[in-house]
Amino acid sequence: MNNFEAWIGKKEVYHDVCNDKPIGMMQALLNQYGQPIDELPLLFHWLYFLPVVNQSELAEDGHPHKGSFLPPIPFPKRMWAGGRLKFHAPIRVNQQLRRESEILNVEFKQGRSGDLYFVTVQHSIFADDVLAIVEEHDIVYREATSNLQNKGSTQASEKPKAPERSELPAKNYSYKKSYPVTTPTLFRYSALTFNGHKIHYDRSYCTQIEGYPGLVVHGPLLATLLLHFLTQEYPDKQVESFEFRAVKPVFDFNEFYVCGDIQEQDGELWIEHVDGQTAMQAKVSFK
């Protein structure tokens, strides 16, 4: 176990402009291209402040090398584990944006699947110097899957066996929507967010090196779908806070649903596999 306490408190600042091109491209991904908007849709701020590095600065997994802002944790598997957001003010097209980021914590854990590191980063996002969003972003680093690494094991292509639906707890649905994901979906979202992580488009790397059974659907895309369908179903509700946690991966061969159980002041949101298992769970509160 390495000690990365020295990285806690490290800061960086990014500047950007809320131009409308990424918004239109994300709308196209959601089959809503050309629809007028008054303000930036929820979680579309993830389309800005994208790190731009030379090809020579990319690691084997397609991410930029660690050790610049994020600590150089040696574990190769990186995933967006979840986050907590508070929405203070709207962001509008053409506003000047600033993101102030700080590493809040680096924690080592031993889980059932092996050793883990959790890194928590806080982002404060300003639009024309007005605080708009405060976000805590959780990143998990995992050890390599040793029995699959550098091997063409057939286990990598085997789909995990799902539990019987009767084993799962009953749920209340205010809505339950489908959103079919294809390989072009994953490619377009990776391109839109300038995300070179190979687990989203390089099937041989994903299965043989990182040990997944298929291409991984982006965690931020799933979280965006949660709030997208919420605002489609309840356009008059104003979201004040949102927290989400990845529970189980979604792969490109999976069918899944975007679900919500909405009350007056808050609600439960989740991504549900077709067999009833939860892939991502979230809570939302309203102003």
Domain ranges of the chain: 8-286
Integer angstrom CA distances of residue 275 from 159, 271, 272, 278? 13, 12, 8, 9
CA distance linking residue 227 with residue 271, whole number of Å? 11
Which pLDDT score is estimated for 1?
Answer: 60
Reading the chain (287 residues) residue by residue, the pLDDT tens digits are 677 888 999 999 999 999 999 999 999 999 999 888 889 999 999 999 998 889 988 888 888 877 678 888 888 788 889 999 999 999 999 999 999 999 999 998 887 778 889 999 999 999 999 999 999 999 998 886 644 333 333 334 445 555 555 566 778 999 999 999 999 999 999 999 999 999 999 999 999 988 899 999 999 999 999 999 999 999 999 999 999 999 999 999 999 999 999 999 999 999 999 999 999 999 999 99
Separation in Å, CA 219 to CA 8, 117, 155, 266: 24, 18, 23, 22
Domain range 8-286, its CATH number among 1.20.1250.20, 3.40.50.300, 3.10.129.10, 3.30.70.260 = 3.10.129.10
Tokens linked to 27: 């709308």
Q: Give the rounded distance of the alpha carbon of 137 from its chain centre.
A: 9
* pLDDT at 148 (0 to 100): 39
Alpha carbon distances (Å) from 241 to 113, 133, 134, 263, 284: 31, 10, 10, 14, 6
Cα-flanking dihedrals φ and ψ of residue 225, to 5°? -65, -35
Contact 269, 234 (CB under 8 A): no
Helices 21-29, 183-192: crossing angle, 10 deg rounding: 160
What's the pLDDT at 44?
98
pLDDT in tens, 167-184: 667 789 999 999 999 999
**Sign, Cα dihedral of 79, 82, 88, 93:** positive
User: How many Å apart are CA 31 and CA 25, to the nearest integer?
Assistant: 10
